[in-house]
Amino acid sequence: MRHAKAAAAAPFESDFQRCLTADGLRVATETGIALRDCGIHIDRVIASAAVRTCQTADLVTAAMVLAPERLDFDELYLAPAQKFEATLCEHTFEDESSVLVVGHNPGIASLMGRWTDRIAAVSPGTVAVFESSADTWQDVRKIHVHIPELVCLLQDGKIAWRRDKANP
C-alpha cells in the first residue's frame, strides 16, 4: 500500500514528519473498511517509519477492527522495491499468511509493478492485494517461480478492480 495523501511539509518540518491530510485520513479509514468487506485479514504490518505511513497503517487496521503487530523501519523511507521485498521476507513469520506493507513511491509502486502489469498508477492510498503460491515468505522473492497474482486493487478507499468470474 502507498500511504494515503499527506500534507505539504510545514516550515522547519522534514518530509519524514509529514502527516496525513483530512482526505488522507478519510481514504485510509475507507480503505480499511473496504479491505474488511473483501474478507481480507492482516497478520502483520510492515511500514516505513515515516509519520504518514504509520498513520495510514493505524487507520487501515483500526477500520478493519484488527490489531496486528506493526514493525516500522527507518530504512523503508523512500526505499526501492527490492528493500520492501527483502524486509517482507526477513520479518514475517511462517504462520502469518497476510501482511500489509505500507510505503512510499517510487519503491512501493515499483514493487506492485514487479508483481503485476495490471496497475498503471499508484496514487496515494492505493492498495494492491496479492496472492502467491509460495510456501514460505522467502519464496516470495523467487518471482520467476511463484508469480504473485493480483486479487484486488483499491484506490481512493474503494475497490477499483477485483478478481472474480468476470475479471479472471
Report DSSP letters for 60-120, one per residue: HHHHTT---EEEEEGGGTT--HHHHHHHHHHS--TT---EEEEB-TTHHHHHHHHH-SS--
* pLDDT tens track for 108-167: 999 999 888 888 789 999 999 999 888 888 888 776 667 889 999 999 999 999 998 566
pLDDT at 23: 98
Domains of the chain, first to last: 15-162 (3.40.50.1240)
pLDDT at 144: 66
Look up the pTM and report it. 0.94
* pLDDT tens track for 56-114: 999 999 999 999 999 999 999 999 999 999 999 999 998 999 999 999 999 999 999 98
Residues pairing with 103 in the sheet: 2
pLDDT at 166: 61
Distance CA 52, CA 105 (A): 13
